[in-house]
A and B are shown apart, each in its own frame.
Chain A
Amino acid sequence: MSDVTDPIPPEARAANLELWNAWTRIHEHAPGYHTEAFKAGATALKPVELEELGPYVREGTTLLHLQCHFGLDTLSWARRGARVVGLDLSDEAVALARRLAGETGLADRAEFICSDLYAADRRLEGREFDVVFVNWGAIEWLPDLDGWARIVARHLRPGGVFYLAEVHPFAYLLSEDAPEGELRVEDRYFPTPDEPDVQPVTGSYADPNADTEGLIAYGWAHSFAEILGSMVGAGLVLERFREHPYSPAPLWSWMREDAGHLFWLPDAKNGQRHDQPFSYTLLATRPDH
């Protein structure tokens, strides 16, 4: 069902779909996803998401989660009272999300749609939501952020809120192979939409030891100028922008995990270093008029 105007090249789409289906099978029971804890009532959302977007999500709030993977975060918003729609390219992820919605009694307020991101308009038609939500390692799979931001804006009601919690561009620049404790700049910062970064996959951010033999990832770098520019260009008004010294997943095995499942650079005394950015959050609104 790929769209004729989809900016993702067919070989990239095929490889990433295969990867996300494989990762779905791995992630249901992976250490980095706490699926059993979620089933037992824990939220999968990070503290910063609850703090910043939480006040906008109440009983009956309609929320669209783009690139929702297997829906743990989507369903965590549903548990807080939202009526949620999760959209993802992976058919296996959507199937698992629906199963989890049923198992947790949230099926009546959670809908999952299997769709490429750039085909979302066709699947969602004219539906508008109070909140559009995107988080953690989503936009790296997209070559064209202008098109992405227009999709976000089209599915927000006037006055609605767009919230993005993402891995920091700085984190994508750094070498994975530098000696422990060293942050070394290796990759480019500025985007090259026509030249994806094509890499063999070794394990997963949620389970470094998983068998991912033969899988390949196609990704795209994004700068802050591009990210913020796409939102302004789509008519969204930026309200908040924050950067954070922790990562939602370990970039290196020597990062330290805290009780909220955030990963930090260790300092010399085995505490947390707060001096480098590994994530950011953005909140924007669609104007009323």
Chain B
Amino acid sequence: MLDDYLKANLASWDEAVGLHVGSELYDLAGFRAGQSSLHDLELGELGPQVGEGTTLLHLQCHFGLDTLSWARQGATVTGVDFSGRGIAQARALAGEAGLARRATFLQSDVYSLPDKLDGEFDVVFTSWGALIWLGDLERWAQVVAHFLKPGGTFYIAEFHPFAYLLADDSTPDRLRVGYPYFQYGEPQRFDESADYADPSAQPEHTVTFEWNHGLAEIIDPLLRNGLRLDHLHEFPYTIPGLPFSFLEPDAGGMLRVKGHRDDFPLSFSLKMTKET
């Protein structure tokens, strides 16, 4: 069964690479022109720790824009994704951008990465819409800890568990809970005809399986695998890309809940250090 979920999600993500490369949201032209694809949040909170020679492992890297943005900042990066097309695209971009020397890309799902990759890293990084594709955060946390040097930093910027709770028909006057906070291993099946980065696209592979995770379900296994909490931050806004009708962009382009612009958490960041 798990293989069926993985197969459906992989077909969707393989196809998404082709759709996303040309999308406005991913802004490949901007990246090629030298811009970072990272947001102020990641740059502000993790940026100071990423410099010349920092070794960084990016889990679930899609086609590598964020990975390569860290490489541009001087890091020696390894990007990992389960999509072969994502990895091929990432390698092509690394060559184009003159970053191939300091960027390695590897096709692997998260759980089997320790069988395919050696070494320990100064930083393990993951972000935005990664965790819903993982059913087992115990194993994920073991992988994160496995690849961190003692004293190394784990950083994640993600959509808040609360952002996945609200019913599709929620309105400012009626924000109704419509989805589970606790998933207990069984994913939700979605059949979405629209792509989050390119609403005009008509993808062929529309069925995906996704897992919501509570904050404790994310943080607790990391604690038990020897990581110490440095910070948990929560924000009433999130980056573009969540296709919910009850969200609207603010002046800076971040999404907020209509009628609750400062009240409701839509994203969080977590920084942790592996004990020495």
Contact = CB atoms under 8 A, between A and B. Distances in A.
Interface in B61-85: none
A18 B264 CA distance: 32
Contact of B229 (A188, A223, A228): A228
A245 B182 contact: yes
Contacts of A185: 166, 175-177, 260, 264
Interface in B219-238: 219-220, 223-224, 228-234, 236
B229 A182 contact: no
B231 A232 contact: yes
B231 A243 contact: no
A184 B171 CA distance: 11
A277 interface: yes
Contact of A237 (B228, B262, B264, B265): B228
Contacts of A224: 215, 232, 234
A239 interface: yes
A223 B264 contact: no
A232 B229 contact: yes
A238 B229 contact: yes
Given A189-B265, A237-B228, A274-B182, A182 B176 contact: yes
Nearest to A275: B180
Contacts of B181: 170, 243, 275-277
Given A182-B176, A184-B176, A228-B232, A274 B220 contact: no
B233 A170 contact: no
B214 interface: yes
Contact of B184 (A186, A187, A274, A280): A274
A225 B236 CA distance: 12
Residue among B175, B216, B231, B265 facing the most chain A CB atoms (10 A cut-off)? B216
Interface residues of A, number: 30
B220 A242 contact: yes
A260 B272 CA distance: 36
A219 interface: no
A276 B177 contact: yes
B217 interface: yes
B121 interface: no
B interface: dominant SS? mixed
Contact of A183 (B177, B214, B219): B177
A240 interface: yes
A286 B107 CA distance: 42
Interface residues of B, number: 33
B182 A276 contact: yes
A254 interface: no
A241 interface: yes
A229 interface: yes
Nearest to B229: A238
A56 interface: no
A188 B234 contact: no
Contacts of A228: 229, 232
B49 to A, nearest CB: 17
Nearest to B212: A275
Contact of A189 (B215, B229, B264): B264
Contacts of B182: 243, 245, 274-277
B232 A243 contact: no
B265 to A, nearest CB: 5
B39 interface: no
A66 to B, nearest CB: 22
A174 B233 CA distance: 22
B223 A240 contact: yes
B220 to A, nearest CB: 5
A275 B230 CA distance: 29
Contacts of B162: 170, 189
Given A229-B232, A241-B216, 8 more contacts: A184-B176, A185-B260, A189-B264, A225-B233, A241-B215, A243-B181, A276-B177, A277-B181
11 contacts: A184-B175, A185-B166, A188-B260, A188-B263, A189-B162, A189-B234, A228-B232, A241-B215, A243-B181, A276-B180, A277-B182
Interface of A: 170, 174, 182-190, 223-225, 228-229, 232, 237-243, 245, 274-277, 280
Cβ-closest 3 pairs across A and B: A275-B180, A188-B263, A183-B177
